Chains A and B, each alone.
Chain A
Amino acid sequence: MDLDALGACLMTPACVVTQTTSGLIVGMLLFLVAAGVTLIFGVLKIVNFAHGTFYMLGGYVAYTALGITDSYALAVLSGTLAMALFGVLFERVLISRVYGSNVLMQLLVCYAVVLIFDDVVKLVWGPEFHAMGMPPAFQVPPLFIAGGVVPPFYAVLIGIAAMIAIVLGLGLSMTRLGKTVRAAAINPQMVSALGVNTTALFAIVFAVGGGLAGLAGALAAPVRSLSPGMGFSILIESFIVTVIGGMGSIGGALVAALVIGMVRGFGTIGFPQFTDGLIYIVMIIILLLRPQGLFGRPT
Chain B
Amino acid sequence: MKARSAWRDALFAAIALIIVLAIPLVHRSPAFEDFIIRLSAMALFATSLNLLVGNTGMVSFGHGMFYGFGAYAFALTMQLTALPLPVAAVLAVLATTLAALCVGAICVRLSTDYFAFITLAFQMLLFSVIISWQSLTGGDQGLRGGLPRREFFGFELASQLHLYQFCAVVAVLGLLALRHITMSPFGQTLRMIRDNENRASFLGVVLWRARLSAFTIAGGFAGLGGVLAALFVSGAYPELADWPNSGQAIFAVMLGGINSFLGPVLGAGILLALNDVVNRFTEYYGLVLGLVILAFALGLRRGVLDFLKVAFPGRAK
Contacts and interface: CB of A to CB of B under 8 A. Distances in A.
A116 interface: yes
Interface in A92-129: 94, 97-98, 101-105, 107-109, 111-116, 118-120, 122-123
A239 B106 contact: no
A277 B132 CA distance: 9
Contact of B284 (A107, A112, A123): A123
14 contacts: A104-B258, A108-B254, A108-B296, A109-B293, A111-B290, A112-B291, A112-B294, A115-B286, A116-B290, A236-B120, A273-B132, A274-B132, A277-B125, A291-B109
Contacts of B285: 119
Nearest 6 Cβ contacts at the A-B interface: A277-B128, A116-B290, A115-B290, A115-B286, A119-B287, A112-B293
Contacts of B296: 108
B106 A288 contact: yes
Interface string B115-134: 01110111011001101100
A47, A113, A115, A292: residue with the most chain B Cβ atoms closer than 10 Å: A115
Nearest to A278: B128
A115 B250 CA distance: 15
Interface residues of A, number: 42
Contacts of B208: none
B289 A236 contact: no
A293 interface: yes
Contact of B297 (A108, A114, A274, A276): A108
A118 B244 CA distance: 14
Interface in B254-306: 254, 258, 284-287, 289-291, 293-294, 296-298, 301-302
Contacts of A119: 284-287, 290
Nearest to B111: A299
B32 interface: no
A105 B298 CA distance: 9
A281 interface: yes
Contacts of B113: 47, 103, 243, 247
Contacts of A101: 301
Contacts of B53: 104
A144 interface: no
Nearest to B113: A247
B49 to A, nearest CB: 11
A116 B291 contact: yes
A254 B286 CA distance: 33
B243 interface: yes
A113 B121 CA distance: 23
B309 to A, nearest CB: 15
A236 B286 CA distance: 19
Interface string B228-269: 000000000000000100010011011000100000000000
Contacts, number: 119
Label chain A's interface by main secondary structure: helix
Contacts of A276: 124, 128, 131
A122 B289 CA distance: 15
Nearest to B294: A112
A104 B118 contact: no
Contacts of B117: 239-240, 243, 283, 287
A291 B128 contact: no
A128 to B, nearest CB: 14
A293 B113 CA distance: 11
Contact of B128 (A94, A105, A240, A274): A274
Contact of B121 (A112, A274, A280, A291): A280
Interface residues on B, range: 35 or more
Contact of B111 (A120, A280, A283, A291): A291
Given A104-B258, A105-B297, A111 B125 contact: no
Given A105-B254, A247-B113, A277-B125, A115 B243 contact: no
B59 interface: yes
B198 interface: no
Contacts of A120: 287
A123 B263 CA distance: 34
A287 B286 contact: no
B257 to A, nearest CB: 12
Given A112-B291, A112-B297, A280 B114 contact: no
Given A111-B293, A287-B118, 14 more contacts: A94-B294, A97-B298, A104-B250, A105-B302, A107-B250, A109-B294, A109-B298, A113-B294, A115-B293, A116-B294, A247-B113, A276-B131, A287-B110, A291-B109
Given A108-B251, A112-B294, A116-B287, A293 B114 contact: yes
A116, A123, A239, A291: residue with the most chain B Cβ atoms closer than 10 Å: A116
Interface string A35-56: 0000000000001000000000
B184 interface: no
B298 to A, nearest CB: 6
A115 B244 CA distance: 11
B301 A105 contact: yes
B114 A291 contact: yes
B120, B128, B250: residue with the most chain A Cβ atoms closer than 10 Å: B128
Contacts of B291: 112, 116
A166 interface: no
A74 interface: no
